Structures are given as structure tokens and as C-alpha cells.
Structure 1
Amino acid sequence: MKLSSQKRKENVAEYILFMWQLTDLLRSIQFDEGRIRELLIDPLGLPEAEAVAELQWYRDYCQIIREEGKEQRGFPSITLYLIGELHDFHQRLLKEPGEDTYRMLTFNATPALVSFREKVPQPLANDMEYCFYALYSKLLLGMQKQEISQQTAESFAEIAKMVGYLAKKFGQFERGEFSFKED
């Protein structure tokens, strides 16, 4: 899928949130190929060969969801793997000389992260998973037009700043524009 591939190249955090949203959308239409074509492919006005390739991408993604038993809830392992990669990168970046900005962003986001962690019913693998679940929760609340308190909005903003910086650095690292001093 072109949009997915583009998002992955541009910003890994946006890609993860996009894929989670797509997973929920596919669930809501019960993985129906006709609805996938109608809602996600036909509006793009692609030539038939490209439309067929897009539909195959969706078929493959639906198959992954089914194989992993995520038809009802949870998210595919590819996104969880990337979150694990980001968590490892986060740990390294915290120790990197000259990354005071990231350490400050992390420090500022920590109270929000601790508060969110207390509200999640089941434990998650690491702090980065909590960050993404928080950001996805904010996305869902916004889509549902639910009001949130000023404090909650500020908490989400602190987490978003930290993850945004991390995703930017991660992209730079993947493109060879950033390297750790210890490497």
C-alpha cells in the first residue's frame, strides 16, 4: 500500500498509529474485500493494475491479522516489533551525550506516562508501548469528539513531543543522518 509505505519512510510513529487505525477500520468492516475496495481503494482512482496490487496488500494485511488472532483486539506484531525497536532506540538516546533535549522531553513526559500506565488494565511490554497506547487513545477520543480535560490534553501533548522527537531521530538514524557516539 502506497500510503503505508510512505508513512513508514517519513515517520515511524505516524506509521504505527496509522496501522493501528487501519486495523480497527478493517475490523469494523469485518475484513470484507468489497468494502475495502469501496472505501479504501476506489476513492484513489488508481489504474486497475495498481488497484489490484492495493487490494492484494489489504488481503495480505488481513491475513496477518487473522494469523495472529487479532481479529477482535490487539495490534499486529509488525507494529509491536517497531515499538520495541523504538524503545531500544529511546534507551540509547537517553544515554547519548548531547541529547539533553530528548532527556528533558522524556522528563517532562514521565508524569503523564506514569498516570497513563496506572489507567491501563493490563501491563504492557515497555514505556514506549504505553506512549503509543496513550497517543492512540487520544486519536480515538478526538475521532469520537469526546471532551478531555486541560490536564489530560497537556499530558498527551508531552508524550507526543517526546515520541515526535524520538521518531525524528529514529528516521535520521535509519537514513544514516544520525549515529550514536559509541558506534
Structure 2
Amino acid sequence: MNIAESKKQNNISEYIIHMYQTEDLIRVYEFDIELVKQYVIKHFPVSDEEKAEMTQWYVQLMEQMNEEGIKERGHLSSVQTYVAQLSELMTLLQSEDDEFTKIYKNAEPYIKEYIELAEGAITDEVQLCLNGIYGLLLARMNGKQVPEEVMPGINAFGDILSYLSYKYKQKNFLNKN
């Protein structure tokens, strides 16, 4: 089981963010599998057979990204299906789960603020939370300081995604696909 599959089984939000990162990595290396092999795959402490499997996985992702016309930006439709499922789950939990209602109420002011800042580019609340967490990851990977005033919102987004991922796994959504 590769890293992505393991994340998909255990934490769907981490899987989605991992896939966003993988898409961006493929773009950085300009869809050149030899560069991905040299700078990414080569550094994994796994067998040659596992490296060959990883290479094939990256090639398949590149082909999918090409087919879906997302070479420059955007996300794989298969990944966005999980975002849609999390959004459906969020709607369900808002009406039937008191614990989630508390978590959501804490995050709601930040969600509203960031949706307004997005000026219509992002309207899905789960997508907004994912983008916030992914943005934090990118900033940290690039050695950028994240303003302290942003962190309460990012933490609230993380709380929402953690709870949604927990409930997603608990409800066994993956076996329904």
C-alpha cells in the first residue's frame, strides 16, 4: 500500500492534501518522470520494486492530469469527489451531531471571513478548510513565517477536517465507492 492509499484509508483529509501536494510536485517537475524519479522517488528508503510501483503511480497521475486538462492548475476529479463527499458529510453532521455543531460554530466566523476574501473563487466550506491547511503546509515548506493572527482560523479549519475525517472513516464511506 503506497502512502496515498494509506492516507486514504486512515484520514481522508490528509489524503486530499497529499494529493494536492503531489499534483503540485508533478507540475514543479514539469510532468517529467525522470526528474520525479531523480528528486523524489530515489530518496524513499524502499525496495527497487516499490520504487518501480511509485514510478508507475506518478506516471498514471500525470496521464490523468493531462487527460483532465489540469497541467497548470486544478485538482483531479477523483480527488475532488472526496471533497464533495466530505461536504455532504458536513451538511449531515451539522443537523445531527452536537459535537460537530460546536466545532463548526467555532470555525464559522473564519469560514465566513475567508469565503468573503475569496470573492467567489471558493464557495465550498470544506474546500476552503482544505485550502487553508494546504496553504499553511506550503508556507512552512517554503520557510515562510505564518502570521499569528491567521493561526486561530487555520486551527479551526484543522478541527473541522479532523472531525470530518474521523466520521468519514467511521461511516465507512470508502467501502461505498
TM-score normalised over the length of structure 2: 0.90
Classify 1:125/1:150 alpha carbon distance in 2 versus 1 (closer, same or farther; 3 Å). Answer: closer
Classify 1:45/1:160 alpha carbon distance in 2 versus 1 (closer, same or farther; 3 Å). Answer: closer
Identity of aligned residues (%): 24
Deviation at residue 146 of structure 1 after TM alignment:
2.5
Q: Is residue 116–residue 134 contact of structure 1 (8 Å, CA) maintained in 2?
A: no
Number of residue pairs matched? 174
Q: Is residue 41–residue 51 contact of structure 1 (8 Å, CA) maintained in 2?
A: yes
Query: Where does the alignment leave 5 or more consecutive residues of structure 1 unmatched?
Result: 177-183
Worse-matched range after superposition: 4-13 or 34-43:
34-43
CA distance in 2 between counterparts of 1:146 and 1:121 reads 25
The match for 1:171 among 166, 169, 172 is 169
Verify: 1:44 aligned to 2:12, yes or no.
no
Report runs of 4+ in structure 1 exceeding 6 Å deviation: none
CA distance in 2 between counterparts of 1:125 and 1:111 reads 14
CA distance in 1 between counterparts of 2:51 and 2:138 reads 29
Amino acid at match of 1:82: Y
Deviation at residue 131 of structure 1 after TM alignment:
1.4
Query: Where does the alignment leave 5 or more consecutive residues of structure 2 unmatched?
Result: none
Classify 1:173/1:122 alpha carbon distance in 2 versus 1 (closer, same or farther; 3 Å). Answer: same
Q: CA RMSD in A?
A: 1.8
The match for 2:100 among 99, 102, 110 is 102
Residue by residue over 1:91-150, the C-alpha shift from the partner in whole angstroms, topping out at 9 and shown as x without a partner, is: 111122xx2111010011011111111222543352111111122122222222323332
Classify 1:144/1:51 alpha carbon distance in 2 versus 1 (closer, same or farther; 3 Å). Answer: closer
Q: Which residue does 1:64 correspond to in 2?
A: 64
Deviation at residue 160 of structure 1 after TM alignment:
0.8
CA distance in 1 between counterparts of 2:41 and 2:164 reads 32
Deviation at residue 49 of structure 1 after TM alignment:
3.0
CA distance in 2 between counterparts of 1:34 and 1:68 reads 22
Q: Is residue 115–residue 123 contact of structure 2 (8 Å, CA) maintained in 1?
A: no
